[in-house]
Amino acid sequence: MRITHFTNPRLAQAFVDYMATRGVVLRIEHDEAYTILLDDDSKADLVENELQQFVRDPLHPRYQAASWQSGSTTSGLRYQHTSVLATIRQRAGPLTLTIMVACVAVYILMQVVGDRAVMYWLAWPADEGQYFQLWRWFSHALLHFSLLHIVFNLLWWWYLGGAVEKRLGTGKLVVIALISALLSGWMQAKFSGVWFGGLSGVVYALMGYAWLRGERDPASGIFLERGLMAFSILWLVIGYFGAFGLSIANAAHVTGLLVGLAMALVDTRQVRK
């Protein structure tokens, strides 16, 4: 019985090794992909249930432990070398990559001509005369003021935005990004004025969306581990108290998080746990 297939040989072997610890023997056949086969179809229900959990979190430590316990160095699998850029492209869709490139380009420009000059073009509208420059309501998300700032935001954007775009489509990511950029920017401007920037409002929206979507609709394949969600809340608290001398756009973060939670709640209102 064919169970499933993987394009990643390590994931295929990890699942086979884990099922071996459950007393189920699986085989791997390699053609264009790594196909998992089950000889004893009486174990099919058990395998399917375990597969659903594995797909949700294939990097869970229990699967690595199973490979150490039951794995073999003679599996015959050959691992294809992939570059960093190939790995980035594999997880990210066109919008995810476009925003990453735009943020990097804007950051480089800020180093060349100065922060103030670029903010004069892209920052949140400062007065009524700029209200009709529609790009300003969103382009503030492309502004970053340090290497740590842009690396932190782009890693989260790639990790969560790429997953949303790959599984739910570019349209869903567009909606989340535009709404969260607009509302988080509006709230931050109320608290600190227009001289701010960064993708973190959108990132926090993705955190909230991915976490609640995973809790209420696991079949969607969108999730954020509870430990990482706890980290994001801790980061909010650190920013609120100004710990470690960090200057953090707290209003944008909180607003983005609430926007993401609300959108996940709307998208899962018909889902039964």
Q: Which active-site residues does the annotation give? A: 200, 253
Residue 24 DSSP one-character state = -
117 vs 57: CA distance, rounded Å: 44
The stretches of 114-146 forming alpha helices (DSSP H) are 115-122, 136-139
265 vs 263: CA distance, rounded Å: 5
Q: Among positive and negative, which fits the CA dihedral 173, 174, 177, 183? A: negative
DSSP-assigned beta bridge partners for residue 38:
26
Neighbours of 92 (CB within 10 A): 21
What does 192-251 look like in DSSP terms, one character per residue? H-S----SHHHHHHHHHHHHHHHHH-GGG-----HHHHHHHHHHHHHHHHTGGG----HH
3-class DSSP assignment, residue 30: strand
3-class DSSP assignment, residue 36: strand
